[in-house]
Amino acid sequence: MASTADIKNGVVLSIEGQLWSVVEFQHVKPGKGGAFVRTKLKNVLTGKVVDKTFNAGAKVDIQNVDRRDFTYLYNDGDSFVFMDMTDYDQLNVPAATVGDAANFMLENQQVTIALHDGTPLYLDLPASVVLEITYTEPGLQGDRSSAGTKAATVETGYEIQVPLFLETGTKVKVDTRTGDYLGREK
């Protein structure tokens, strides 16, 4: 067990059986009364953010979360298979853990997976990825780049909104956090 003096940004705490990552912390020493540590915690699995205050010197349970680089190999139905880049072991990650990241993953893409006692917690993708448009309606005569948008399906099967002038086969940069079109890839 560690104490509140060991709390730092990015540390993962186990509170009531759930894993919480420290987003912010502040040691407070008021003029009257005992010192305390004010924290902002983010649930590792659900993403919920809460504020929690600990008395100074209180015992906290710091967990070891290992973030390692993996290469995405293939989808195996209800799970995704990744290869560890250090020892070439394969890791099956359930589709529920992968979540929306599946919309932006291509085979042989690098991802970072957070592991706790060998169990995958979540995936970190790069901020943007380059995907090819596999289908979109053709643009009409008179369409301008400043005009509206249209739906386009990218090679992962995900549908995004792109400017009217883009055509099938164009490579585009897509934001992995929001799914927004960022621009054409040269």
pLDDT at 150: 85
pLDDT of residue 144: 58
Q: Is pLDDT above 60 for 15? A: yes
Across 151-170, average pLDDT: 88
Q: Which residues contact 135 (CB under 8 A, 6 or more apart)?
A: 152, 153, 168
- Is the pLDDT assigned to residue 146 strictly greater than 60? no
Q: Is 5 helix (H, G, I), strand (E, B) or coil?
A: helix
Structure tokens at 118: 């060998």
How far apart CA 110 and CA 71 sit, in angstroms, is: 5
Residue 8 pLDDT more than 70? yes
How would residue 21 be classed by pLDDT, with cut points 50, 70 and 90?
A: confident
d(CA 75, CA 18): 28
Q: Which two tokens stand for residue 178?
A: 């929001």
Mean pLDDT of all residues in the chain? Answer: 87
pLDDT above 90 covers what percent of the chain?
Answer: 31
- Name 92's bridge partners: 81
pLDDT at 147 over 80: no
* CA atoms lying within 13 Å on the CB side of residue 98: 21
pLDDT band with cut points at 50, 70 and 90 for residue 121: confident
Residues 22-46, mean pLDDT to the nearest whole number: 89
For residue 28 the two structure tokens come to: 């407070």
Identify the bridge partners of residue 50 per DSSP, sorted by sequence position: 41
For the purposes of burial, counting CB atoms within 10 Å of the CB of 84, is it exposed (0-12), middle (13-18) or buried (19 or more)?
A: middle
Neighbouring CB atoms inside 10 A of 90's CB total: 11
The stretch 28-51 carries a mean pLDDT of 89
The rounded distance, in Å, linking the Cα atoms of 115 and 82 is: 13
The more confidently predicted of residues 63 and 148 is 63
Is the confidence at residue 145, as pLDDT, over 70?
no
pLDDT, position 123: 86
So what's the pLDDT on residue 88? 87
Residue 38 has pLDDT above 90, yes or no: yes
